[in-house]
Amino acid sequence: MKSMIFAAAAAGMAVSFAATPAPADTADKRIALSNNYAGNSWRQAMLRSWETVTSQAVADGVVAAADAFTTAENQVTEQAAQIQNLILQGYDAIVLNAASPEGLNGAVREACGVGITVVSFDGVVSEPCAWRIAVDFVQMGKDEVLYLAERLPEGGNLLEIRGLAGVFVDDAISSGIHEGVAENPQFQIVGSVHGDWAQDVAQKAVAGILPSLPEVHAVVTQGGDGYGAAQAFKAAGRPTPVIIMGNRHDELTWWKEQKDATGYETMSVSIAPGVSTLAFWVAQQILDGAEVPKDLVVPFLRIDQDTLEEGLADTEPGGVANVLYSLDDAQTVIATAQ
């Protein structure tokens, strides 16, 4: 998953606007997005991706509406209330980025019970009546350590920057990182902080823990935190370690500057925020009567040293390297999973 994955991403963006309108069977259907958090660049890119693709689908008469709703706080109770409100508003499907894999199951069951299709993505739910679209976040975390094992064969001290506490994605990526370290005992995690997938939060958290740490050889991350970590090391006057990046424009820009100046090497990996558009098309296909497996897996998006320039050029300032999915893409993912 190197340049090939990124090439696929670029192709996905190119074809997203050329999707063939779906049969008119869903022309009167209304789909809602329930999102638990919007406080970082990935979530903002996810919402923009949703708007770009779904507004065209509505204009084309594929569906009647595709409205997005985001809770003010990342809290299960608030999102559960939001889902219950969407049920009362009569939506035919709810696409869900969940605050908890189990905490929303009651609200999801309630939606399913009145015939509403529920498709979860990124932050998926465990309720059997719902569909799930995710990457293998555990493997994503493990791949960071496997990359470091190649770059730093003698090992060293790692600082782990985690995501948003209590969210399934944070736990899964961290689990993969720790699994990778267990298989590569030449590495030791000497510190761990939560960066909330946001560079400003990560910078403050890293700055706070650095005085208590020995030399740090590499930083394992979850996305949105790499640039903040780099700034914290610079402010502390400490050598810049190998920092795993998360496909954000500021991270890729900083990496490119260091690569040009010193030959700095790292890698970058994240789930494409456009996965929300895949979830939209999967919901539309279910409403249209397609047989869709309950669990769908999409690859994570990885950028390496030799694809950095291409990746940066295709990423908008303030955004995240992305893939926008088309109806054809969704049908391919569904067919592959069957």
Task: Give me the pLDDT at residue 11, please.
Answer: 35
- Residues 84, 243: Cα–Cα separation, whole Å: 42
Which residue, 281, 280, 274, is CA-closest to 247?
A: 274
pLDDT score, position 167: 84
Per-residue pLDDT tens digits for 173-187: 999 999 999 999 999
pLDDT digit string, tens, across residues 25-38: 999 999 999 999 89
Domain spans, the chain: 12-135+271-300+321-337, 137-270
Could you give the percent of the chain with pLDDT greater than 70? 93
Give the burial class of 18: count Cβ atoms within 10 A of its Cβ; 0-12 exposed, 13-18 middle, 19 or more buried: exposed
Are the C-beta atoms of 136 and 168 separated by less than 8 Å?
no
pLDDT tens string 93-110:
999 999 999 999 999 999
Query: 338: which 2 tokens?
Result: 């069957």
Give the residue from 170, 172, 169, 174 showing the smallest Cα distance to 158: 174
306 pLDDT exceeds 60? yes
> Quick one: CA torsion of 217, 222, 226, 227, rounded to 10 degrees?
-160
What CATH superfamily classification does 12-135+271-300+321-337 receive?
Response regulator (3.40.50.2300)
Handedness of CA 167, 171, 176, 177 (dihedral sign): positive
For residue 44, the one-letter residue type is Q
E strand spans, the chain: 30-35, 65-70, 93-97, 117-121, 131-134, 156-162, 187-194, 218-220, 242-243, 268-270, 295-297, 301-303
**How far apart (Å, rounded) are the C-alpha atoms in residues 41 and 195?**
13
CATH architecture of structural domain 137-270: 3-Layer(aba) Sandwich (3.40)
Are both 12-135+271-300+321-337 and 137-270 of the same fold? yes
Q: Are the C-beta atoms of residues 49 and 274 closer than 8 Å to each other?
A: yes
Cα–Cα distance measured from residue 87 to residue 73, given in angstroms and rounded to the nearest whole number: 20
The residue with greater pLDDT, 279 or 319, is 279
* pLDDT above 80 for 14: no
